[in-house]
A and B are shown apart, each in its own frame.
Chain A
Amino acid sequence: MKSTRTGLAAAAAVLALTVSACGSDDGGGGDAGSGGDGGGDSIRIGIKFDQPGLGLKQGEEYTGMDVDIATYVAGELGYSEDQIEWVQAPSAQRENLIATDQVRLIFATYSITDERKEQVSFAGPYFIAGQDLLVRSDDDSITGPDSLDGKSLCSVTGSTSAQNVQEEVPGVNLQEFGTYSECVAALQSGAIDALTTDDTILAGYAAQPQYEGQLKVVGNTFSEERYGVGLKKGDTELCQQVTDAINQMFEDGSWQAAVDDNLGQAGYQPGAGNPPTPDECA
């Protein structure tokens, strides 16, 4: 009898939690205007779960530059750290996550593009990344896209980086995989010569303990990726609040700290144009 009662209590507690989670989800969209004080509510933020240095989930720990910046911005919006609910935001699902109110903000290496602006609004940019190359530390033959002709290059199926490099260097020998981790493993073993995507992602991999000292970012970017904060289309008020928070972060030095803490280990320095000037919220 006792155990039945305990079970019932547990079930009730779980139910209550679920209900309150749903409630806060709805509330998240509704109190967009009230901004400043989040009160007892929580905020759902979409991040990458699988990108070292940017957004990485290890057990219940979330680390990375996007996580740090999101935590700061949420703090400015009135949400303490334990009021943040992290949600995985894979690249292909980011627009849908916002459109269906499953998250309020997305910090997930989300480049601002005109196509995406048709579906979501952006605050920021909060970081300017660029497409770059990751090579083995002892390889000096690759200095940029010009020296890629005939080299074996790796990227992720269908990614913007893969498309760019195919346009720029038609002679490149491209191998595409489902994820970057497979590329990094192949690069380390010497089977391919270089890996291409945003320099931030590359720096994150180069800084991982198991690759320390073995890989380096070439540092010759050949595109501009302006990372923005994805939010519901047309929500200018929220956009303004986020932009203010980002500006404040630039000023008080915590932006620099977030970059250095997460990407600095491999000697990575943010490229030209950083910290950027956020766009007007329209």
Chain B
Amino acid sequence: MGDFFSNYDILGAFWVTVQLSVLSAIGALVIGTVVAVLRISPVGVLRLIGSLYVNLIRNTPLTLLMVSSILGLTFILGLQISEQNTRNAYWWAVIMLSVYHAAFVCEAIRSGVNTIPAGQAEAARSIGLTFGQSMREVLLPQAFRGAIAPLGSTLIALIKNTTVAAVILGTAEAAGLLAQITENEGASLPLFFVFALGFVVLTLPIGIGITNLSRRLAVKR
């Protein structure tokens, strides 16, 4: 088992997994918040755009999004982020992970908004706050605190979904490296457990932390 660690850069591969996770989590949170605001805005067209985004992206397989980013967007439409194919695939993986999980983030935040009594929004508007102000000052802060648990689940799913990037990214991240080691050494249980353990190490603390946080930050009503 020590062989795997000395012959292959397993920690390096997991480091790329962490990079992908962090960058995509930030991207997904930003896009997801914007889409959530669209979905609860008072303007019908914006609500329509928001729900189109969520229903389109959430129901498309991530693998399809990944492959189409390279085969479709880069190769056919010429949207190349970097001349270097591996860098290009890396950034497309981040974008696609962000775009995909933004749909889930949006729904998590919307569920958070739904935990807020209607009186809060009405009170905010009645004291003269605009839609933007009432979002910023009253609704979103409470929505995020109420949505921490589902956001945490989305983050854990995102970390594990970074493995899908192997279909365009090669051996840089964990799943790609696992494919390479399996090709060279044959499949084996210890190897499988090393990689499974790697993901447990990444996700378990997040799960525990999120549970704590959601308890502490919950809006007492």
Contacts and interface: CB of A to CB of B under 8 A. Distances in A.
Interface string A253-269: 00000000000000000
A157 B167 contact: yes
Interface in A75-120: 91-96, 115-116, 118-119
Nearest to B67: A182
B171 A158 contact: yes
A157 B166 contact: yes
- Closest 5 CB pairs between A and B? A158-B180, A176-B170, A191-B75, A158-B179, A178-B167
Contacts of A119: 186
Contacts of B171: 157-158, 162, 176
Interface of B: 63, 67, 70-71, 74-76, 83-86, 89, 166-171, 176-187
A192 B71 CA distance: 10
B187 A93 contact: yes
A105 to B, nearest CB: 17
A92 B183 contact: yes
B186 A160 contact: no
A79 B86 CA distance: 48
A141 interface: no
B12 to A, nearest CB: 15
A119 B191 CA distance: 15
Nearest to B183: A158
Nearest to A160: B183
A6 interface: no
A260 B124 CA distance: 79
Given A174-B85, A182-B71, A159 B183 contact: yes
B170 A174 contact: yes
B71 A157 contact: no
A163 interface: yes
A256 B182 CA distance: 33
Contacts of A186: 70-71, 75
Given A94-B186, A158-B177, A186-B75, 16 more contacts: A93-B187, A116-B186, A118-B186, A157-B167, A157-B169, A158-B171, A158-B180, A159-B180, A160-B183, A173-B85, A174-B170, A178-B167, A186-B70, A186-B71, A189-B76, A191-B75
25 contacts: A91-B183, A92-B183, A93-B187, A96-B187, A119-B186, A157-B169, A157-B170, A157-B179, A158-B178, A158-B182, A159-B180, A162-B171, A163-B180, A173-B84, A174-B86, A174-B170, A175-B70, A175-B85, A175-B170, A176-B169, A177-B168, A178-B63, A178-B67, A189-B76, A191-B76
A240 interface: no
Given A173-B84, A175-B89, A189-B76, A115 B184 contact: yes
A272 interface: no
Q: Which has the most chain A C-beta neighbours within 10 Å: B86, B182, B186?
A: B186
Contacts of B187: 92-93, 95-96
Contacts of A241: none
A152 interface: yes
A159 B70 CA distance: 19
Given A189-B76, A191-B76, A92 B71 contact: no
Q: Which has the most chain A C-beta neighbours within 10 Å: B74, B166, B177, B187?
A: B187
Nearest to A119: B186
Nearest to B177: A158
Given A92-B183, A173-B84, A182-B67, A191 B74 contact: yes
A92 B186 CA distance: 6
Contacts of B83: 173
B110 to A, nearest CB: 33
A176 B167 CA distance: 7
A192 B70 CA distance: 11
Interface string A185-210: 11001011000000000000000000
Contacts of A159: 180, 183
A181 to B, nearest CB: 10
B185 A176 contact: no
Contacts of B183: 91-92, 158-160
A94 B185 CA distance: 12
Contacts of A163: 180, 184
A263 B198 CA distance: 43
